[in-house]
Amino acid sequence: MGVWHISGLGISPGALTVPTSSIYLLLKAAEEGEAKACEFFETSGEWRQKEGILRGFPEGIVIFTSREVVEKKFSRRSDLKDRWFKNTGKEISVPRVACKFIRDIHRELFDQYDLPKIYYLAVDYQDFKKALPVIYHTVNALGTKGGKELWANMVGGTNQINASILTAGSLSGAISRYYYYFEQDIDLLHPDLEKPKGRLPKGQIDLLLSKWFQLPIFDFGWGEVSNTINSLMEQYNNALPLEVLKEELEKTGMKSQYLAKLTGSRLIVIENNLVRPGADLNHLRSLLSGDSNSPNNLSSWKKWAAEKGILWQQEMDQNCTLKKVFP
């Protein structure tokens, strides 16, 4: 299995293509045995020796954006720059330019492997309450229940979409990496270096890694704790004995001092040695409990999203056709 990338996206396709192309370049360096590149992917997935698939290889990309970005074209606010494949036109859709670049760099470096699957979901990019359920059920279906390795691209997307990705990842515990790639020129579709020819020079590997930022601050194991608390609340009808919660927290490696964080963040309330849901936990529950047919794998997720009328799949053909998925 490869990696599935979760990402928001606005009208700057480089927010998707720059970090994605940096991953492809680092994968090529890892394939050639470059130590720093190998180290970058060493905790990712499994090595499938029979098929020769590199660990960390992109298997799929799920993009959350507005319906306008998916359905319409935009006139470039400034010149997009593609010095590698020169695929930009005078008026282009965001999904098409992103697809063409990812397709071309994939074929340039790893033509022997399958192209990643690319899906777009239309969400209300200005409303956290509406975006979160869609993103949460996606992350939960693909990662927690579907067993896929998920990385989250924090470059593109609105604050509401990125906050939803962080919240969904925290609640589910399904996202392995949250990453950010800094490129000063926002019109570039690739890292600011010349198109690699053959083996990637060591200096370019160092440059790529220097612009890649991983955000481990969000990986606190809250997903397991959240699932434990929700399960216990259901079991004890929202009146959980305090000692039971302490015992369960100890099992997950959390000390009893962690209770102060749970109460301080209004996730739980402790009264008379009983633990009840706090205001914020109830709020999250209400946001996420409205869908009785929540998906539990890739296939059911596609059906679920198609029924909502919010799913498009990108064909990796010559025109990078974007097709709406119907039930």
Q: What is the pLDDT of residue 47?
A: 43
CA distance 164 to 135: 7
Give the span between the Cα atoms of 196 and 261, in whole angstroms. 48
Angle between helices 128-139 and 279-288 (to 10 degrees): 70
Q: What pLDDT score does 231 carry?
A: 86
pLDDT for the residue 262: 86
Strands 175-181 and 268-271 come out as: unpaired
Mean pLDDT, the chain, integer: 88
Distance CA 81, CA 192 (A): 10
Over 70: is that where the pLDDT of 86 sits? yes
Region 245-253: mean pLDDT is 82
Tell me the C-alpha distance between 226 and 232, whole Å.
10
* Percent of the chain at pLDDT exceeding 70: 91
- How does residue 221 score in pLDDT terms, banded at 50, 70 and 90? low
323, pLDDT greater than 80: yes
Highest mean pLDDT among 61-70, 192-201, 208-217: 61-70
The C-alpha atoms of residue 26 and residue 254 are separated, in whole angstroms, by: 36
Q: Which CATH topology does 222-288 take?
A: Arc Repressor Mutant, subunit A (1.10.10)
In this predicted structure, what is the pLDDT of residue 44?
84
Cβ neighbours of residue 60 closer than 8 Å, sequence gap 6 or more: 2, 4, 5, 116, 117, 118, 119, 148
The DSSP 8-state label assigned to residue 223 in this structure reads H
Beta strands in 76-153 (DSSP E): 91-92, 117-122, 149-153
More confident residue, 275 or 223: 275
What mean pLDDT is predicted for residues 140-159? 92
Q: Say whether pLDDT at 77 is over 60.
A: no
Q: Which tokens sit at 244?
A: 């039971």
3-state secondary structure 7-38: EECCCCCHHHHHHHHHHHHHHHHHHCCCHHHH
| 225 vs 13, more confident | 13
The pLDDT of residue 90: 63
The domain segmentation of the chain, as residue ranges, is 3-219+295-324, 222-288
Structure tokens given for 76: 């470039």
pLDDT digits (tens, 9 = 90+) for 254-281: 766 778 888 888 889 999 999 999 988 8
Query: Which of 167-181, 209-223, 303-317 has the least mean pLDDT?
Result: 209-223
Report the pLDDT value the prediction gives residue 48, as an integer from 0 to 100. 45
Task: Label residue 75 by pLDDT band (50, 70, 90).
Answer: low
3-state secondary structure of 217: helix
Q: How far apart are CA 187 and CA 171, in angstroms?
A: 34
Q: What gap in Å lies between CA 147 and CA 59, rounded to an integer?
A: 13
Q: What is the pLDDT of residue 52?
A: 58
Give pLDDT, residue 50.
38
pTM: 0.89
Percent of the chain with pLDDT strictly greater than 90:
58
